[in-house]
A and B are shown apart, each in its own frame.
Chain A
Amino acid sequence: AQKVTQAQTEISVVEKEDVTLDCVYETRDTTYYLFWYKQPPSGELVFLIRRNSFDEQNEISGRYSWNFQKSTSSFNFTITASQVVDSAVYFCALSPGGGFGNEKLTFGTGTRLTIIP
């Protein structure tokens, strides 16, 4: 069985501070995929990034960066110089490799991030 843990239920930071959202996963698969999704206050769910288990390079996209470490089974998400528009619930998710269909995609319970102006 696979599991995704987002231990931080809620985080509040003052605007322009850096913030890291933690994601720890459990899986027995050697090939798997990790995802981050964002749910802003308007309610829609937006895909942010995908990472496969063979690629441990960190990813940076503007103020966003992702740190994937297989040794600690973590896929953490850092926002640099946070802005009010970053306020949202962020979900980490895990999918096994191979096969067809996303029915085995497992979501964490989400971290609610509030950026205080």
Chain B
Amino acid sequence: NAGVTQTPKFQVLKTGQSMTLQCAQDMNHEYMSWYRQDPGMGLRLIHYSVGAGITDQGEVPNGYNVSRSTTEDFPLRLLSAAPSQTSVYFCASSYGQRNSPLHFGNGTRLTVT
């Protein structure tokens, strides 16, 4: 049982480049989300999905796109990378209920130069 799998683990981009962070879960969770973690700011929600075909914006969505074509996958796209997007990104999933704990991937450390 792999849980939540994120790739890549590390990535360096130049300003203006685009890329996709991959996220897959094998727990049949309805809810999936992307967070970014920056020093002193905790975890901030970027985008989330409550099921296949349904996505919505979180607290800090600008510069990112998501889609959810299957229950298992929830990729995060950076359209034109900026230094302000240097961060650690976490994908998470859970059952749909609000008392369900999040299961996190191992994170992607992204540096934009």
Give the B-binding residues of A (Cβ under 8 A): 9, 33, 35, 37, 43-47, 50, 52, 91, 95-105, 107-110
Contact residues in B for A102 (Cβ distance below 8 Å): 31, 33, 48, 92, 94, 98, 100, 102
The answer to whether the Cβ of B13 comes within 8 Å of any Cβ in the partner chain is no
Give the A-binding residues of B (Cβ under 8 A): 30-31, 33, 40-43, 45, 48, 50, 56, 58, 88, 90, 92, 94, 96-107
Contact A101 B42 (CB under 8 A): no
Given that A98-B98, A102-B31, A103-B48 are known contacts, is A45 also in contact with B40, CB under 8 Å in the complex? no
Contact residues in B for A103 (Cβ distance below 8 Å): 33, 45, 48, 50, 56, 58
Q: Closest approach, in angstroms, between the C-beta of A74 and any C-beta of chain B?
A: 18
Q: Closest approach, in angstroms, between the C-beta of A8 and any C-beta of chain B?
A: 13
- Which has the most chain A C-beta neighbours within 10 Å: B30, B92, B98? B98
Task: Report the bound CA distance from A45 to B37 in whole Å.
Answer: 11
Contact residues in A for B45 (Cβ distance below 8 Å): 103, 105
Contact B107 A101 (CB under 8 A): no
Contact residues in B for A109 (Cβ distance below 8 Å): 40-42
Contact residues in A for B102 (Cβ distance below 8 Å): 37, 45, 47, 102, 105
Given that A45-B90, A47-B101 are known contacts, is A100 also in contact with B96, CB under 8 Å in the complex? yes
